[in-house]
Chains A and B, each alone.
Chain A
């Protein structure tokens, strides 16, 4: 079966990790690239980062946080199920410095799933990797061990102080700058608002900063323009020219607005699915009672 899930594991509340058979994506995918998948025939196409690849096994790993209908359907899948449609690798790979550079990777929430392959590639190329991983609270922190395994230093921050340092990733980043760490490059991925402030933190110090943008995508092949973002005053298609762009040039406010456009529809879609799910449960219960 194509695109079969060989392993599925809950990482944190509403966050699942899937290992999927996809030989060509495992072989050709690079850090920073993503896949577009569809879970059902009526389903939406959604982009998810290739978090890890196992070339020998011919599998890729994706990590999905449930935020709406499609991620909900996806996260209900189990090992042995298959992903209906899986296209990739898409987008441009992260430009990896050739080695000897100090790179700080700043992830927040689900963004840490993207930090993992980036840090891996940075480390493999011989760079010094410092990772800053942020989460709202301890239980939501994902992939810490995986990132630690490929980083020279890891700083964890939680909003509530339940683990690591209390505070925001930007504070940890500012701390590194203040300590005098010479940062050659910073790369950030997480909620848009976080990326915006990471870029604001590095800008005064002239630290090159890449942000991995997550606009709404439809085809992911450069054909629709749904994913357009403004960088340096120019419109760019994130799915083919990105998803990483110069964070100091990126219009994050526009991205935030564009991401919120379908909020009411997304809520309707999810509500409908949950309603159907409740009906199903009620029906199952009735049937079970009848059979008793």
Chain B
């Protein structure tokens, strides 16, 4: 918007968020294009103006990285998009991504003073405005490469190119350090690339952000599984500090009979085949997924919704989502649950898988589930699901996707037993404030490898914390800022 046509700031008293246009469910299930289409400038301005500029700013405390929400909402409300963008980028380096994938309803928007479900007042559309700004920056070429400080002569290794690694790389490069990112796969981005599907997070955005990092001078080494391609010890010898951001990529299975039958995938395998390897375009691409007639996706987190919605686009007859608890406990983002339902995915709550059934040739022909009901509240006050004696149900399916969680990626840690880890969870143990490992002062870790499967913004927050501490460490030998 031109400088001279700035709308003056006025509050927008609408109870509800400015709606976002979306692809219609009946159309989008036949393509992999993005579902929500984003705000226009005018829509974003109107939504910015819904923020009432609270003095106590509860929204900011709700955001894991403390984005100055009222400030950027106001700037957007005034049509000052560039300034708003600058404001966000002070704390959040990937607004186009967080605006799309943050669980806002559990974070910034949950805390928002406007958020009064009983009165049908919706919170400020923080995520939507954030996404708008990220997209605006790309469309207008505003993602100018930030100026980096003069070279410090220090070399930093980042292991893993997910959101934690990318954030740390950006911050450290800006402070003048010589940064190299090592990635085991052939494409950078971590879960953002191999996990989250195109219709939710277009890969072009990620590619642009990574190109930006390259232009800043960050070096990327792909196909380099650290621990295997080079021992951590040798990386430590070559670099002044190392950040481990290898994520929680280890898929958990259910340990029920029949899990190794043909047609049973981990969500990671299913999504990797489709997203990273492009199997939805098979045979144009070389990696297949099997044709699906009926599929059961087990779980109810983002990974499960992504698997269910991805499979829907491969044109099956039926997609079941099976979850052993009730709707209240479903961990996925509200928007994904909503989109999944709109797309005709059949939710079967309070069903716990018992066994996967062999069709006699070693392939899946069904999954038997125990029906559950909600019992007495437990210590946490939540009503626990308990089996209903004698009631089971068989879903006739040819494909099962297990999406019940992931553990820390063991690829690196398996080869470095000295690196102290949580004995039970396998996560790397660090100082919470500095992300410095308790094992070696020059080794830091953050993101899902420290927390277990969490969120993009938490991983980015950890990347930033680590970068700050690593900078101090590199310049002064201590993680405490001078």
A binding-site residues for B, Cβ under 8 Å: 24-25, 28, 33, 38, 40, 42-45, 69-70, 84-90, 218-219, 221-226, 228-230, 235, 240, 254, 257-258, 261-262, 265-266, 268-269, 272
Contacts and interface: CB of A to CB of B under 8 A. Distances in A.
Contact of A269 (B228, B266, B282, B290): B282
B290 A265 contact: yes
B229 A221 contact: no
Given A224-B272, A257-B362, A218 B287 contact: yes
B186 interface: yes
Contacts of A230: 260
B283 interface: yes
A247 to B, nearest CB: 18
A38 B186 contact: yes
Contacts of B180: none
Contacts of A87: 184-186, 223-225, 229
B202 interface: no
Contacts of A25: 229
B120 interface: no
B135 interface: no
B362 A254 contact: yes
Interface stretch (B246-254, B304-312, B384-392): B246-254
Those 7 A-B pairs whose CB atoms lie nearest each other, nearest first: A257-B362, A265-B288, A224-B269, A87-B223, A44-B286, A223-B249, A261-B262
Interface stretch (B319-327, B408-416, B447-455): B408-416
A258 B411 CA distance: 24
A42 B272 contact: no
A266 B283 CA distance: 9
Given A223-B194, A265-B282, 20 more contacts: A25-B229, A45-B287, A87-B186, A88-B228, A221-B225, A221-B411, A223-B250, A224-B269, A224-B272, A225-B253, A225-B266, A226-B265, A229-B260, A240-B414, A254-B362, A261-B262, A261-B290, A262-B290, A269-B286, A272-B283
A42 B287 CA distance: 8
B220 to A, nearest CB: 13
27 contacts: A24-B229, A25-B229, A28-B230, A40-B286, A44-B285, A87-B184, A88-B228, A89-B228, A89-B229, A218-B272, A219-B184, A221-B184, A221-B411, A222-B409, A223-B251, A225-B251, A225-B266, A225-B268, A228-B260, A229-B260, A240-B410, A257-B262, A258-B262, A261-B290, A261-B363, A266-B288, A272-B283
B26 interface: no
Where chain A touches its partner, the secondary structure class is mixed
Nearest to B271: A224
Where chain B touches its partner, the secondary structure class is loop
A268 B285 CA distance: 11
B4 to A, nearest CB: 46
Given A89-B229, A224-B268, A257 B361 contact: yes
Contacts of B266: 224-225
Interface residues of B, number: 44
Nearest to B406: A223
Contacts of A89: 228-229
A219 B228 CA distance: 14
Interface string B283-317: 11111101000000000000000000000000000
Interface string B374-416: 0000000000000000000000000000000000011100100
B354 interface: no
A134 to B, nearest CB: 27
A25 B277 CA distance: 24
A43 B273 CA distance: 11
A267 to B, nearest CB: 10
Contacts of A69: 286
Contacts of B186: 38, 45, 84-85, 87
Given A87-B224, A240-B410, A254-B362, A226 B290 contact: no
B233 to A, nearest CB: 12
Contacts of A43: 285-286
B410 A44 contact: no
B288 A269 contact: yes
Interface string B236-250: 000000000000011
Given A28-B229, A257-B361, A221 B185 contact: yes
A84 B260 CA distance: 32
Nearest to A269: B283
B260 A258 contact: yes
B277 to A, nearest CB: 7
A225 B409 CA distance: 12
A224 B61 CA distance: 36
Nearest to A42: B285
Contact of B409 (A44, A88, A223): A223
B212 interface: no
A89 to B, nearest CB: 6
Contacts of B262: 257-258, 261
Nearest to A234: B255
A228 B224 CA distance: 23
A275 B224 CA distance: 35
Nearest to B185: A219
